[in-house]
Amino acid sequence: MDAQLYTGKAAEILDAAERHMRAGGYDAVSFRDLADEVGIKSSSVHYHFPQKADLGEAVVRRYTDNVLDALAMPDDAEESARDRIARLCGIYRSALKDDGLICLCCVLGAEARDLPDPVAEAVNGFFGRVLGWARTALDGSQGQGPSCTQILASLQGAMILALATKQPELFDETVTDILERFEG
């Protein structure tokens, strides 16, 4: 159950696949496009990830690990719930502003019904783990601020709004609303 480590071409493939999936969904990824981008042939991509579902699952799992790593640190026990949630907001914010990318599992979650089972399950797992993190992050903030569900839902939806309307301010507006509710 250890987190898998990817290096070299495998990592490059995952990088390219994640970028495409976050921009256009699961179907936006093709073995030939990935191969071209990393400078190998499509059959070599199949060597690393035999089926497309394997690739999709690996992308989601690696993404999940990366997000949870970023959420966990710095590991300060005295940190307020508000500051911890602000870190979650910041992760999404920088991806959106710097690269125009929204959460991978926001895109894939929206088309979950049509995803291969292992990929859909990995997306489900992402939300479970992030909600689990949020539950402990809010620990001790006695009923103050929005619920974990509400925080995560707001952020996911705000990314879509900001992207689709080309108004990044809409994301910040939501972040402000979330954080303000901690000063109740």
Q: Rule CB under 8 A: which residues touch a second copy?
A: 23-28, 100, 102, 105-114, 120, 123-124, 127-128, 146-147, 149-150, 152-158, 160-161, 163-166, 170, 173-174, 177
CA 42 to chain centre: 26
Residue 172 Cβ vs DNA, minimum distance, rounded to whole Å? 35
Closer Cβ to DNA, 55 or 159, answer by number: 55
Of 1, 4, 5, 43, the one binding DNA by CB under 7 A? 43
Q: How far from each other are the two terminal CA atoms of the chain, in whole angstroms?
A: 41
How far is it, in rounded angstroms, from Cα 129 to Cα 105? Answer: 12
Closest approach of Cβ 21 to a second copy, in Å?
Answer: 9
**CB of 79: closest distance to a second copy in angstroms?**
24
Amino acid (1-letter code) at residue 166: K
Residues 44-83 that bind DNA (CB under 7 A): 44, 46-48, 50-53
Nearest distance in Å: CB 66, DNA? 21
Pick 51 or 165: Cβ nearer DNA: 51
Residue 101 tokens, joined:
């990318």
- Report which of 32, 61, 45 is spatially closest to residue 129, judged by C-alpha positions: 61
| Smallest separation, CB 46 to a second copy (Å) | 21
- Distance between alpha carbon 109 and the CA centroid of its chain, in Å? 10
Distance CA 61, CA 71 (A): 15
Sorted by sequence, the CB contacts under 8 Å of residue 101 that are 6+ apart come out as: 19, 22, 23, 95
Q: Which two tokens stand for residue 53?
A: 């579902």
Answer with the entry of a second copy, DNA, none that 153 interacts with (C-beta below 5 to 8 A by kind): a second copy
User: Which positions touch DNA (CB under 7 A)?
Assistant: 8-10, 27, 29-33, 35, 39-44, 46-48, 50-53
